[in-house]
Structure 1
Amino acid sequence: MSRTLVIGDIHGSYNALQQIMEHAAVTVNDHLIFLGDYVDGWGQSPEVIDFLIHLKATHNCIFMRGNHDDLLLQWLKTGNYNDEWFTAGGGYITTVTYNALTEDKKQLHILFLESLHDYHLDESNRLFIHAGFTNLNGITHEFFKPLFYWDRTLWEMALALDKTIDSNHPQYPKRLTLYKEIFIGHTPVTRIKQTVPINMANVWNVDTGAAFKGVLTIMDADTKEYWQSDPVHTLHPDEDGRN
């Protein structure tokens, strides 16, 4: 039996990624959709990317582009970075680990990062995207593509939505009527003191705070059953992460 499994923001924890793959008993029959932010935070970003490259060759996978993945790509290609990424964004430990790699390995990772998708829309009209979009007519009309991996307004809108109105109400946000379901990461649910996937309107947020003191989550997009790692900071006792 094939499942569609959605994986939240990994943020450089290969240990947590291994745990959720085991907990969910992932097989080659499963369709794996990764929501992005594979790097930054914990010190295993190269190991995460190595594993995903291997997984791409053996499993049915789709990989979204996260903002942290794009920041790493730009640094690998140009050597340039912004101070916020280097400090608060977890980029420092990533640059340290990547500086230890061979040039051939870096080039292999650049190719992988360049291959990432801005979004995935499946045959059931379910949208998988790292962050969100702003155009009222949907993803194909978005004028500024980095919003796909930087936007927070989609999730903020879903959180603030009046729960007493439904999708037929004239004031219901048009963005939320375009897709059957929307699966996102990017904004950790730990900000609202949660560590499980949260559903607001038709938006599912699967970023359960792995970059900080939360957990990493893999969720069945159909049944909404989910499996989680241990709190990620306990898997990296000698690191501070982004905490």
Structure 2
Amino acid sequence: MGRELVIGDIHGSYKAVKQILERAAVTATDRLIFLGDYVDGWGQSPEVIDYLLQLKSQFDCVFIRGNHDDLLLRWLKTGEYTEEWFNHGGRLTMEHYERLPADKRQLHILFLESLQDYYLDDDNRLFVHAGFTSLNGVKHEFFTRMFFWDRTLWETALCLDKSIGHNDPLYPKRFTHYKEIFIGHTPVTRIGETVPVQKANIWNVDTGAAFKGPLTIMDTGTKEYWQSDPVHELYPDEKGRN
């Protein structure tokens, strides 16, 4: 196998995801791990999912479930939605999906239903959209919605004193189960960054593509990364989720 490449939150930025795959020179020997939130933000959410389905047929792909993906699936299947989702990217996504033929919508429903809660690779690296709360690891998580809603994993990593090592009794037990944990969900732009950020053994790869940041793809082994242009520059006529 070639490289193992992890991709941050896309949020409807079809132009950006194409750009990063080109810049990373992705080949058929690489594994692509997408951390979720494929939709909501920019105006090409259906195009993103069409593209991911195309990639699935050409590459070794892992697709993780994000909270926005779960919200879209709920609306597509039941017509129900929350005002919070509607006001945080859902409205634009709904407008575009209402224009799609029924067979295309059904294909996207099947894709969204197939998403994984998390992925654990052969090197004990965990990939999850948001986090988890069980002290015993993801296989013991009772509240499975935490896989795509939790922020406490990242917040704990941000607060952890650099002097506290892996074997220190104060080191969070959640962190000890995995060699590394790769997440999205909470953009690093909230702490003034636009590149992947490591805290303890947590890597946050959401570099703010839904807002004014770029989309990022990173080699999990070498930590080399490639980024798109700031996504708002690729969609100058749209506001995104700003």
- Aligned residue number for residue 169 of structure 2: 170
Instruction: After TM superposition, give the deviation of residue 3 of structure 1 in Å.
Output: 0.4
Instruction: Find the aligned partners of 1:16 and 1:208 in 2 and give their Cα distance.
Output: 12
Q: Which residue of 2 aligns with 1:31?
A: 31
User: Within 2, Cα distance between the matches of 1:54 and 1:114?
Assistant: 17
Output the amino acid matched with 2:25. A
Letter of the aligned partner of 1:165 in structure 2? Answer: I
Q: In structure 2, what is the equivalent of residue 3 of structure 1?
A: 3
Using the alignment, how far apart are the partners of 2:14 and 2:104 within structure 1? Answer: 17
**Aligned residues between the structures:** 242
Partner of 2:114: 115
Residues 42-81 of structure 1, C-alpha deviations (whole Å, 9 max, x = no match): 0000000000011111110000000000000000000000
Q: What is the Cα deviation at residue 172 of structure 1?
A: 1.0
Match of 1:225 in 2: 224
Which 4+ residue blocks in structure 1 deviate beyond 2 angstroms? none
SS in 2 for 1:134: coil
CA distance in 1, matches of 2:183, 2:150: 11
Mean Cα displacement is larger for which, 111-120 or 164-173?
Answer: 164-173
Q: How far does residue 162 in structure 1 lie from its aligned partner after superposition?
A: 1.1
Distance 2:124 2:146 in 1: 20
User: Residue 93 of structure 1 corresponds to which residue in structure 2?
Assistant: 92
Query: Displacement, 1:170?
Result: 1.1
Q: 1:122-158 CA distances to partner (integer Å, 9 max, x unpaired)?
A: 1111000000000000001000101000000000000
Which stretches in structure 2 are left out of the alignment for 5+ residues? none
Whole-Å separation in 1 of the counterparts to 2:31 and 2:167: 33
Deviation at 1:171, TM superposition (A): 1.1
CA deviation after TM superposition for structure 1 residue 188, in Å: 0.1
How far did residue 165 of structure 1 move? 1.3
**How far apart are the structure 2 equivalents of 1:187 and 1:141?**
23
- Residue aligned with 1:90, SS: helix
Shift of 1:214: 0.5
Offset at residue 167 of structure 1 (A): 1.1
1:60 maps to what in 2? 60
Residue 49 of structure 1 aligns with which residue?
49
Indicate the SS of the match to 1:33.
strand
Q: Following the alignment from structure 1 to structure 2, what is the Cα–Cα distance between the partners of residues 172 and 220?
A: 26
Residue 131 of structure 1: aligned partner: 130
- How high is the sequence identity, in percent, across the aligned residues? 72
Distance 1:99 1:165 in 2: 51
In 2, Cα distance between equivalents of 1:210 and 1:223 = 22
Q: CA deviation at 1:37?
A: 0.2
Within 1, Cα distance between the matches of 2:194 and 2:172?
Answer: 26
Q: Secondary structure, in 3 states, of the residue corresponding to 1:145?
A: coil
* Alpha-carbon distance, 1:168 to partner: 1.0
Unaligned runs of 5+ in 1: none
Taking the aligned partners of 2:102 and 2:23, their CA distance within structure 1 comes to 34
Q: Name the Cα RMSD after superposition.
A: 0.6
Amino acid in structure 2 at the alignment position of 1:168? N
TM-score of the aligned structures, taking structure 2 as reference length: 0.99
Q: Which position in structure 1 is the counterpart of 2:240? A: 241
The 3-state SS of whatever aligns with 1:172 is: coil
- Cα distance in 1, alignment partners of residues 199 and 207 from structure 2: 15
Which digits, 9 at most, give the CA deviation of each residue in 1:6-46, with x for residues without a partner?
A: 00000000000111011001111110000000000000000
Aligned-partner Cα distance in 1 for 2:100–2:178: 41
Structure 1 residue 115: deviation in Å?
Answer: 0.3
